[in-house]
Chains A and B, each alone.
Chain A
């Protein structure tokens, strides 16, 4: 079946511009996650949705970052007034059930969007 898809695959923008990154999760997956990955590092958690609501946005670095999932499926990560330090790969993942400390919910990742801020 179809996996997690992300668009665009690459995005180049100028400092100060606004960007939107899209994630289409696996059909039926209720939980959706956004991560950011810098070169040589592991993915860093940004935000997690359960259904339409942001269940945990504690990883968002500042208020320039915002994400929505209005119908509980597709999600959009929005970055305002981009800075060069925002350059990274932005990964989206989904899981069938929400995360829990005792859970066994595997995450399925998309290929990522490579964002370059000039």
Chain B
């Protein structure tokens, strides 16, 4: 099963780019990488996903390395409201045999003024 490794915490100045790294060295060839974030006292929120090409949407950009062993989520102009825990996820197989998103502890991003 693919696992992910993220730094436990990061901080970023408001208005600057926040670059959140994730290692997923055991990812399989056709597994997608997903990013979610969780603002305090709310449920996780889907941000973006990708397979092997870089992706961009209104929330963020996702850069996946050519070997797919790592990725970086980029928030181009971080705001105070981007302060949250960011989860990088590759689906893992449960003991029941399903591919279910498995959340680690994520990266706690603090955006400061």
**Which B positions have Cβ atoms within 8 angstroms of A?**
28, 30-32, 34, 36, 42-46, 49, 51, 85, 87, 91, 93-106
In addition to A100-B99, A107-B36, 12 A-B residue pairs with Cβ atoms within 8 Å of each other are A33-B100, A40-B105, A42-B104, A42-B106, A55-B98, A56-B94, A93-B43, A99-B100, A101-B30, A106-B34, A107-B101, A112-B42
What is the interface of chain A mostly: helix, strand, loop, or mixed?
A: loop
- Tell me how many residue pairs across A and B have CB atoms closer than 8 Å: 76
Q: Using Cβ atoms and an 8 Å threshold, which residues of chain A touch B32?
A: 102-104
Given contact pairs A106-B46, A106-B49, A45 touches B99 in the complex (Cβ within 8 A): no
Q: Does A4 contact B (CB under 8 A)?
A: yes
Given contact pairs A4-B43, A40-B105, A41-B105, A99 touches B31 in the complex (Cβ within 8 A): no
Query: Please, how many angstroms separate the alpha-carbon atoms of A42 and B37 in the complex?
Result: 11
What is the interface of chain B mostly: helix, strand, loop, or mixed?
A: loop
Q: Which chain B residue shows the least CB distance to A99?
A: B99
Are B103 and A42 touching (Cβ within 8 A)? yes
Partner of B44, one of A43, A44, A55, A57: A43
Please, what's the 1-or-0 string for A1-24, where 1 marks a CB less than 8 Å from any CB in chain B? 000100000000000000000000
